[in-house]
Structure 1
Amino acid sequence: MYRRTLITGLAATAAAAIASPLPGTAASAQVDQAVLGSLLVARLRDAMLGVGQAPAEPPPKSLAEHFVGALADFDACRYARLAVSLPRLLRAGHALTLSGGDTAPYALLSEAYLLATRMLVKLDELQLGWLAVDRARQFAEAADVALAVAEAARQAAVLARKAGQHDQALALALSAADRPDLRRAGRAGTALRGLLIQSAAYTLTRCGDRDGMRELTDEAAAIADEIGRATLPGNQGGFSPLTVRLHRISAENHAGDPRAALDAAHSLPLNALPSVERRSRALGDIAVTYSYLGRRADCIQTLLAGERLAPEETHARPATKSLISSLLRLGPTSTDLRGLAERSGVLV
């Protein structure tokens, strides 16, 4: 009861701060962004479980439009807006499925749950992420949408990898990549197959198999080179030689070769990536690379560049907060670092 009261109170405080910022400096508004992660998790949990006070739901005919808006908020790292739009979309979709036997909302609900899964993975909320991805899979199968079924498998593989279940993560990704219906899905199916192989490659880094990671990454790169840039429907985003290069940065970091990661970063034109979220992720990975190489000043400046690009992402994401915390503990502080820590809710 105490924990639930605390979470609810935190969410209410964050919502009030976002909706009606207190007068004062811009810094005071930025500090409020540090609780965005807790706000998003609390609202998504309530929407998924059907508890709490539900806001007014969008009319059924506009649900597809609302999904496009929620996805745009995610891609632009506008998480304060997403904390409103995505839970409303989940509640409205469920209400529509309960109103009759129409299965048309199932595909939309699958996409909404995939988006929720991506956000929950970003916020390290694995337990709730498993619930979201299982619902995404069930709705995708009911709607018979092969791409959404495969994307649910990819997100499940991510969750399994983060939970240390590496064999399961590999099986999920590679089995989905070999599904006949995905192979029949044309260019979009080929692109999603590349993403699944890329996911399996990343898992191999967690198994200590650097050579296997590079082999599968090269396979994904060959697929990307073959089809060029592909924009996929719904949550899959884009797949291209650029996004494979982005993957290489983090994969080489986890394989223990930050110099190879830095080489990959140098070959990546940041502004060519398809969204603010992808560019922010690249800056986060590059900051980690600099940290591994002992280039502390470059790491801090890269984090600050990420904050300028996507402040809500920088202030809400646990992985970034953890890196900021380690910088505070393991070396001299500076005005820039202390300010970044304060805005991100990291204790100085």
Structure 2
Amino acid sequence: MNLAVTAAAAAGAPLLSGDKGTTSEAAVGETLVSRLGDAMLGLGSRLPDMRPETLGWELSHALTDFHTCQYTSLAVRLPRLLQAGHALTSSSDSPEPALLLAQSYTLATRMLIKLDEQQLGWMAADRARQLATAANDPLAVAEAARNLAVLGRKAHWHDAALSVALDAADDPALRTAGRRGAAQRGLLIQCAAYTAARNGDRDGMRDLTAEAASIADALGGTTLLRDHGGGFGPVTVQLHLISAENSVGDPAAALAAARALSPKALPSQERRSRYYTDVATALAHRGRRDECVRALLTAEQAAPEETHARPAVKSLISGLLVSGRTTSELRGLAARSGLLT
């Protein structure tokens, strides 16, 4: 049963203006993309200059918005971070503003990937890498490379995506960066494992997953990373394994991987929502519609804006609508996601 039918586009929404603008949860993704595009192209009014410490504080709040799936707030904060970061970087000889701007672009890339906006995603990821290189920060360079590998995977450039991730993991600078460097290597290998899965390479996926798991075990628990709020550890490896097993066409293995992981152990609402939507995807492929809907409703409870705005989730909901009987719960979820009026 193929329930991954392309979803109907969500209705448009006006851009936010000021700090207290509002938009529907179903359309907040479009708003965020539009505002990020304007900021990246230098459009819009000039903002007051920020000091580096203010920029760092704003970035911390933007990261919190991302991990708690507060995308309406992020649609205001993140574009302003990019604008202010560019202004500060151009007027400073210190590497600190460039690094803060690199981190802001890394966050923008992750959000654009989530919203399936690849063209702006490529631009954001490349800027993140250039700025991180200029700031001479190997961890930031590696995280930018990981996002470039994800974009390559989404473009079906699987061999290139594997090379980007694995070459970055072999950077000697990561091997001398202590625990955080090892954790960043684990994230890159984990990314490569998912790319192998998307390319249909089940054995390669499992070999790379085992390598990432070995690094996680050696570190002895989750290692927090500045540019990746979930950090790296056995929990993140297991979460990626659910997605990877789905991608190689083995939903039973995906569900088994999910049963081995407690969602309460996941580090953020964003990651918990991803867990439940991955479980829903596996259940859909198994034809277990009612359980699939329950998993989606649990994801919605954990992170409403994530569930309503993310195109992959909308596609799954749309597929359920057209593939069999519907229930009031499914129709309500579809309406809240902008798929029914």
Bin for the TM-score computed over the shorter chain: over 0.9
Alignment partner for residue 119 of structure 1, among 98, 105, 111? 111
Name the amino acid aligned to 2:295: T
Cα distance in 2 for residues equivalent to 1:190 and 1:281 = 24
Cα distance in 2 for residues equivalent to 1:246 and 1:204 = 16
Cα contact 2:183–2:232 (8 A) shared by 1: yes
Query: Which stretch of structure 1 is more off in the superposition, 83-92 or 54-63?
Result: 54-63
Cα distance in 1 for residues equivalent to 2:231 and 2:161 = 22
Cα contact 1:314–1:320 (8 A) shared by 2: yes
Cα distance in 2 for residues equivalent to 1:136 and 1:304 = 35
Identity among equivalent positions (%) equals 58
Alignment partner for residue 248 of structure 1, among 241, 244, 255? 241
Alignment partner for residue 226 of structure 2, among 188, 209, 233? 233
**After superposition, what is the alpha-carbon deviation per residue over 1:37-85, rounded to whole angstroms, capped at 9, x for unaligned?**
0000001011111102355564443111111100011000000010111
Q: CA deviation at 1:232?
A: 1.2
In the alignment, is residue 179 of structure 1 matched against residue 171 of structure 2? yes
Partner of 2:79: 87
In the alignment, is residue 310 of structure 1 matched against residue 311 of structure 2? no
Name the amino acid aligned to 1:171: S
Count of aligned pairs between the two proteins: 330
Name the amino acid aligned to 1:70: A
Q: CA deviation at 1:330?
A: 0.2
Unaligned runs of 5+ in 2: 1-10
In the alignment, is residue 128 of structure 1 matched against residue 120 of structure 2? yes
Name the amino acid aligned to 1:194: G
Unaligned runs of 5+ in 1: 1-8, 22-28
With over 3 angstroms needed to count, the CA separation of the structure-2 counterparts of 1:261 and 1:146, relative to structure 1, is same
Cα distance in 1 for residues equivalent to 2:298 and 2:217 = 30
Partner of 1:26: none
Alignment partner for residue 205 of structure 1, among 197, 202, 206? 197
Cα distance in 2 for residues equivalent to 1:331 and 1:71 = 39
Alignment partner for residue 188 of structure 1, among 169, 180, 187? 180
Q: CA deviation at 1:346?
A: 1.0
With over 3 angstroms needed to count, the CA separation of the structure-2 counterparts of 1:152 and 1:17, relative to structure 1, is closer
Partner of 1:71: 63
**After superposition, what is the alpha-carbon deviation per residue over 1:100-137, rounded to whole angstroms, capped at 9, x for unaligned?**
43332011111000000000000000010000000000
**Greater length-normalized contact order (CA 8 Å, ≥ 6 residues apart):** 2
Q: Secondary structure at the match of 2:228?
A: helix
With over 3 angstroms needed to count, the CA separation of the structure-2 counterparts of 1:257 and 1:175, relative to structure 1, is same
Aligned structure 1 segments of 4 or more residues deviating by more than 6 angstroms = none
**After superposition, what is the alpha-carbon deviation per residue over 1:179-221, rounded to whole angstroms, capped at 9, x for unaligned?**
1001111011111111111111111112211011001101111
In the alignment, is residue 47 of structure 1 matched against residue 48 of structure 2? no
Partner of 1:3: none
Q: CA deviation at 1:99?
A: 2.0
TM-score (norm 2): 0.93
Cα distance in 2 for residues equivalent to 1:181 and 1:254 = 32
Name the amino acid aligned to 2:269: V
Alignment partner for residue 293 of structure 1, among 286, 289, 292? 286
Partner of 1:276: 269
Q: CA deviation at 1:98?
A: 2.1
Cα distance in 1 for residues equivalent to 2:44 and 2:35 = 9
Higher helix share: 1
Partner of 2:7: none
Instruction: Give the superposed CA RMSD.
Output: 1.8
TM-score (norm 1): 0.91
Cα contact 1:191–1:230 (8 A) shared by 2: yes
Cα distance in 2 for residues equivalent to 1:162 and 1:197 = 17
